[in-house]
Structure 1
Amino acid sequence: MIYFVGLGAALGSILRYLVTTAIKKKSQTIWPTATLLINLSGSFLLGMLYGLATIKVAYLIIGVGILGGFTTFSTMNTEILGLVRSRKCIYAWWYAGTSYLVGIALSFLGVILGNIIK
């Protein structure tokens, strides 16, 4: 099982790289759009997976593996620190608040949708 989780994480990391690269080509802003969209979509999808009450194996591979590799808490926090270091504290606060609050809200929405679909 651990190998499937690892393969899922590798796939999620590759997806994150591809999404980040595509978004950065189209967006030249100080706002960390790619990481925000990745983390928010990952929060929603993980919530939906939880709400679907999938079998443990699927949750481990998709939730822990793929979505765990796709989302990135560490990158988000270093981007927040980068904004603070660049003296763009308002952006840092907005980014942190949006990431955490909207991420939690999307997780709840995903759980609700997963329960409806189930």
Structure 2
Amino acid sequence: MNILLIAVGGFFGAIARYFIAKKLPSISTFFVNMTGSFLLGFLMGVMPPSKWSLLLGVGFLGSYTTFSTFKVEIIHQFREKKWKPALAYMFLSYFGGILLAFFGYMSGLRLYQFRHQQFILRRPIDHERSSFRPLNPKAHFFI
């Protein structure tokens, strides 16, 4: 079942990337890698590992983002002796991706905490009988 979830997510992620490449041909790789970094960080922050994270994180975002195409584009820029654009692209992609993943993670974590607080305000949770386990804030070193 896990492999099927990953395959379905991968199918739709590849199609999304294809359409973005058609609409934004000159910046498609950068765009999908930056949005994918943010979305994967958000997914990590908003939900604990589950079947949804396999479908969306490993499947969809795994095929949506493209590290290999990024590398090939850098090689082409170096071959054409476009040193400054290649270095700027590398810098923006690496550090921008990390920064966006961090912001996505923090946004997802805040949403998770907000939703958890709303749930608590509506009715108390009996942790002995509930499968719901809130995140341990000490386990998240970003906080």
TM over 0.5: yes
RMSD (Å), alpha carbons: 1.0
Deviation at 1:55, TM superposition (A): 4.3
Pick from 43, 49, 65 the counterpart of residue 59 of structure 2: 65
- Between 1:69-78 and 1:7-16, the stretch displaced more is 7-16
- The residue number in structure 1 matching 2:137 is none
- Structure with higher helix content: 1
Aligned residues: 111
* Larger Rg, first or second structure (1 or 2): 2
- Between 1:96-105 and 1:2-11, the stretch displaced more is 2-11
> What is the rounded CA distance, in whole Å, between the counterparts of 1:13 and 1:51 in structure 2?
24
Unmatched 5+ residue regions in structure 1? Answer: 25-31
Give every structure 1 segment of 4 or more consecutive aligned residues whose post-TM-superposition deviation is greater than 3 Å: none
Where in structure 2 are the equivalents of 1:13-92 lying within 5 Å? 13-24=14-25, 32-92=26-86
SS in 1 for 2:24: helix
Letter in 1 for 2:22: T
Unmatched 5+ residue regions in structure 2? Answer: 113-143
- The residue number in structure 2 matching 1:106 is 100
> What is the rounded CA distance, in whole Å, between the counterparts of 2:52 and 2:44 in structure 1?
10
State percent identity of aligned pairs: 37
> What is the rounded CA distance, in whole Å, between the counterparts of 1:7 and 1:82 in structure 2?
32
Deviation at 1:53, TM superposition (A): 2.2
SS in 2 for 1:87: coil
Of structures 1 and 2, the one with the larger relative CO (CA 8 A, separation 6+) is: 1
